[in-house]
Amino acid sequence: MPFNVRLLIVAISRPLPKPGVGSGGFLQVSPELPPQELLNSWQLCHEMVHLGVPSMPYEQHWLEEGIATYVEPLIRHEMGLISSSRFWAELAEGLPEGLAALRQQGLDGNHRWGATYWGGALYCFLADVRLRVRSHNQENLQKALRGVVAKGGNISVSWELTQFLRVADASVGGKQFHQLHSEMGPRPTQVKLGPLWKNLGVIPSSHGLRLQKANRDFVRRGIAN
Ligand SMILES: [Zn+2]
């Protein structure tokens, strides 16, 4: 299937406040930025993930940003740019921001920063965990997202949420994406992260974070080892 998206590079003379990478709708890279720093920045990877996700209605902007937020460090970990400990530490630090923003209102139409980015990432993480628990890592979020791209879902097209949920569920079997949306979309969400971390063997310690054996550590190792 042709992927009719281009990465548009425009040279502009307006300098960024300091050499670096800025994002927000589009990516700005200052010409003075050393290539290694571009490689180290998360923004480039985050924006590239967006290319493989269809545009969603305003009410479900959380899904676009949640996928980019959850998948970006996974890609950078897979490329050897960040360690698994750092991946888990950043996730453990970020997800409570999502939970806090979902206490009063569910994901749909909740445009708080925490809900959009980390609430959306929480949705993706929980979908990934449930799929992996059920199938012993045979099914996962990556496979569902590949299914979305295979059905023509990318940034150049607009999809309704129902289309996304249908394609994602069909790609991995079951109803996990629908189910999780009915739990987190229309109503406030409370997820106990403590027991989940314990099951995965992600343990906060005085030195930051410890990864250890646990009854479902196969899920942790399947996600980022
Ligand atoms: Zn984004």
Structure confidence by residue, pLDDT tens digits, 90-103: 999 999 999 999 99
Across residues 127-144, what is the average pLDDT?
98
Beta strands in 20-166 (DSSP E): 21-22, 28-29
Any domain includes 5: no
- Give the pLDDT score at 43: 87
Mean pLDDT of 75-82: 94
For residue 26, tell me if it sits in a domain.
Answer: no
Residue with tokens 């996928």: 67
Distance 43 CA to ligand 1 centre (A): 8
Greatest Cα pair distance, the chain, in angstroms, is: 55
Q: What is the pTM of this model?
A: 0.90
Cα of 205 from ligand 1 centre, angstroms: 31
Query: In total, how many domains does the chain have?
Result: 1
To the nearest 10 degrees (0 to 180), the angle between helices 176-184 and 120-135 is: 140
Give φ, ψ of 222 to 5 degrees. -65, -35
| pLDDT interval class at 85 (50, 70, 90) | very high
- CA–centroid distance, residue 213 to ligand 1 (Å): 34
Lowest model confidence (mean pLDDT) among 30-39, 50-59, 161-170, 178-187: 30-39
Per-residue confidence band for 18, with pLDDT thresholds at 50, 70 and 90? low
Select the more confidently predicted residue: 3 or 159.
159
| pLDDT exceeds cutoff 50 at 12 | yes
Condensed to tens digits (0 to 9), the pLDDT of residues 200-220 reads: 999 987 777 899 999 999 999
Position 17, amino acid: P
**Average confidence score pLDDT of the chain:** 90
Q: What is the pLDDT of residue 5?
A: 47
Name the phi and psi angles at 12, rounded to 5: -120, 150
Q: How remote is the CA of residue 97 from the centroid of ligand 1, in Å?
A: 16
**DSSP symbol at 29:** E
**Given this model, what pLDDT does residue 206 score?**
76
pLDDT at 110 over 90: yes
54 within a domain of the structure (yes/no): yes
- Ligand 1 centre to CA of 134 (Å) is 29
Å from CA of 206 to ligand 1 middle: 32
**Does 12 reside within a domain?**
no
Per-residue b or e along 188-217, where b marks 16 or more CB atoms closer than 10 Å to that residue's CB: ebebebeebbebbbbeeeeeebebeebebb
Residue 105 alpha carbon to ligand 1 centre in Å: 21
Tell me the CA–centroid distance for residue 50 and ligand 1, in Å: 7
Task: Please list, in sequence order, all residues whose beta carbon lies within 8 angstroms of the beta carbon of residue 47, skipping any fewer than 6 positions away.
Answer: 23, 26, 27, 68
pLDDT of residue 3: 43
CA of 24 to the centre of ligand 1 (A): 7
Mean pLDDT throughout 69-77? 97
- Domain of 155, CATH number, reads 1.10.390
69, 94 contact by CB (below 8 A): yes
User: Does 61 map to a domain?
Assistant: yes
In a domain, 24, yes or no: no
CB neighbours of residue 186 within 10 Å? 12
User: With 70 as the cut, is the pLDDT of residue 160 above it?
Assistant: yes
Judge whether residue 70 has pLDDT over 60: yes
Residue 30 falls inside a structural domain: no
Residue 212 CA to ligand 1 center (angstroms) comes to 32
Domain-embedded: residue 101:
yes
Residue 19 above 70 pLDDT?
Answer: no
Query: In this model, does residue 30 exceed pLDDT 80?
Result: no
How far, in Å, from the CA of 124 to the mean position of ligand 1?
14
Q: What is the mean pLDDT of residues 146-167?
A: 97
**By residue range, what is the domain housing residue 202?**
41-223
Q: How far does residue 65's CA lie from ligand 1's centre (Å)?
A: 5
Tell me the one-letter amino acid at 105.
Answer: Q
Q: Report pLDDT for 4.
A: 46
Q: How far is CA 45 from CA 65, 77, 172, in A?
A: 13, 11, 25
